[in-house]
Amino acid sequence: MRQQADQDWTRLLARRFREQSRGGALADILALASETNIITFSGGFPAPETFPIDVISELTQRLLTDEPAIALQYSPTRGLATVCDAIADRLHHQEGLRPDDDELMVTSGGIDALALLAKSLIDPGDVVVVEAPSYLGAIMGFTSYEADVRGVPMDEHGLDVEALSRMLAAGLQPKLLYTIPDHQNPSGRTLSTERRTALVALARKYGLLIVEDVAYRELSFTKGRCASLWSLAPDVVVQIGTFSKIFFPGVRLGWAAGPSQLISRMVEAKQNSDQCSGALGQRLVEQYLREGHLDHQLGLSRRLYAERCRSMMNALETYMPAEVSWTCPSGGFFTWLTTQPGTDTTELSHRARTVGVAFVPGTPFYPDGRGVRDLRLSFSRVNDQETHEGIRRLADLLKTNPRRSSE
């Protein structure tokens, strides 16, 4: 079957692909999804224990019996009207604001929403600002449209809004700011209430579009939360959400809510990507929301992830050398480690694999190659015993053979 490779097909690659590859970092993470002989702190995978299998199977059976002509058919590009309605109702309940019909669309997960936005807005060379560090899928999404992605520093209260303000005052003209205000990927940090207010004021002053990714918003370990940026300023914010972390990722569904001028362009952009999101999954989500199952699942998920986060914090306290520091998230899936000066976490990740541990090194989370001694640990899919064992092995590597890099 395999013929002699005398052709170099990579010569056909588009310029943006040749120049902007991030080394398949996301594909590497997904490849670990089904690995069983490795303790994986990699990937933002929800715990399979949270998947509501009985409810999904009962709902699916019902949809197949009662309405195959809807559930198995193409859907409108914007999403099935009843599904949009259910998502809008939930947003109203959660955020105190209901998007109009033309301000909301269904997407094939958060990543689709990001790709549609990038496709609609980004010309080569356009400046996009992101938190440094930020979700690497978003950085890849923007760079694949040849954006000039710049990082804004963060601290324990999230994005440093004053630093952004200084960048804008100095003349930087980004097309958009991408931010994950709640339990951020990768740092686990949450943007403070004061900064949220300051950020939307800044966006209004400079005509800056804010893209708010709320992937982990509902997975808080504590009661009470800050207002979403979209609810504070729907005139300057597009909110991107996903059902991957709170329902199950296999359904590949999410939403975008924002100014109708932008949502309508994203709907147009979707017509020549996947054309519409799967109707069966959409109807599943709708029934799941309407019948109140999501709130039940969220209760279980929050408790489980809070417990796993506690295990992770305990294990880090117990095993890590003194110079290593990490964030203490109040929700979500991740903690962000800063290792000893001189450590190269990409090199460390290779050594970790030889002792059966996986994590994601820091550099892909920065647009500019920083993060050499940082790394992301996900606690969402590992139990207490695995967490302790994996962190012990990782700490041993950090103690015994820290390789000095030029950082």
Chain positions 188 to 217 lying near ligand PMP, rule: CB under 6 A, are 213, 215
Q: Which is nearer to ligand PMP, 214 or 324 (CB)?
A: 214
Stretch that binds ligand PMP, among 83-91, 105-113, 365-373, 379-387 (CB under 6 A): 105-113
Report the distance separating Cα 286 and Cα 289, nearest Å. Answer: 5
Report the distance separating Cα 183 and Cα 180, nearest Å. Answer: 7
Q: Which is nearer to ligand PMP, 121 or 215 (CB)?
A: 215
- Nearest approach, Cβ of residue 211 and ligand PMP (Å): 10
Stretch that binds ligand PMP, among 64-72, 103-111, 156-164, 378-386 (CB under 6 A): 103-111
Stretch that binds ligand PMP, among 11-19, 226-234, 242-250, 263-271 (CB under 6 A): 242-250
The residue with its CB nearest to ligand PMP is 109
β-partners of residue 127 are: 148
Q: Which is nearer to ligand PMP, 44 or 402 (CB)?
A: 44
Q: Which is nearer to ligand PMP, 110 or 364 (CB)?
A: 110
- Nearest approach, Cβ of residue 40 and ligand PMP (Å): 14
Chain positions 37 to 96 lying near ligand PMP, rule: CB under 6 A, are 44
- Nearest approach, Cβ of residue 173 and ligand PMP (Å): 25
52, 249, 342, 356: which one contacts ligand PMP (CB under 6 A)?
249
Residue 217: strand, helix, or coil: coil
Report the distance separating Cα 209 and Cα 238, nearest Å. Answer: 8
Q: Which is nearer to ligand PMP, 138 or 168 (CB)?
A: 138
Residue 249: strand, helix, or coil: helix
The residues near 113 (Cβ < 8 Å, ≥ 6 apart) are 107, 240, 241, 242, 254, 255, 256, 266
Q: Which is nearer to ligand PMP, 188 or 390 (CB)?
A: 188
Rg (CA), the chain: 21
User: What's the Cα-to-Cα distance from 356 to each of 23, 44, 376, 399, rounded to whole Å?
Assistant: 22, 18, 16, 17
Residue 128: strand, helix, or coil: strand
β-partners of residue 241 are: 255
Q: Which is nearer to ligand PMP, 319 or 366 (CB)?
A: 366
- Nearest approach, Cβ of residue 395 and ligand PMP (Å): 26
DSSP state, residue 11 = G
254 binds ligand PMP (CB under 6 A): yes
Report the distance separating Cα 117 and Cα 128, nearest Å. Answer: 12
User: What's the Cα-to-Cα distance from 337 to each of 26, 159, 360, 364, 399, rounded to whole Å?
Assistant: 19, 17, 11, 14, 15
User: What's the Cα-to-Cα distance from 357 to each of 51, 128, 136, 336, 387, rounded to whole Å?
Assistant: 25, 34, 20, 16, 10
185, 187, 231, 345: which one contacts ligand PMP (CB under 6 A)?
185
Q: Which is nearer to ligand PMP, 78 or 393 (CB)?
A: 78
CA 335 to chain centre: 14
Stretch that binds ligand PMP, among 11-19, 106-114, 145-153, 310-318 (CB under 6 A): 106-114
Stretch that binds ligand PMP, among 83-91, 104-112, 160-168, 345-353 (CB under 6 A): 104-112
Binding mask 108-137 for ligand PMP (x = CB under 6 A): -xxx-----------------------x-x
- Nearest approach, Cβ of residue 251 and ligand PMP (Å): 9
Q: Which is nearer to ligand PMP, 243 or 319 (CB)?
A: 243
Phi, psi of 222 (to 5 degrees): -125, 165
- Nearest approach, Cβ of residue 241 and ligand PMP (Å): 8
- What single letter denotes the amino acid at residue 113? A
Q: Which is nearer to ligand PMP, 211 or 324 (CB)?
A: 211
User: What's the Cα-to-Cα distance from 342 to each of 32, 98, 116, 224, 365, rounded to whole Å?
Assistant: 28, 50, 39, 40, 19
187 binds ligand PMP (CB under 6 A): no
- Nearest approach, Cβ of residue 180 and ligand PMP (Å): 5
Report the distance separating Cα 118 and Cα 75, nearest Å. Answer: 23
Give the footprint of ligand PMP on this chain (CB under 6 A).
Answer: 44, 109-111, 135, 137, 180, 185, 213, 215, 242, 244, 249, 254
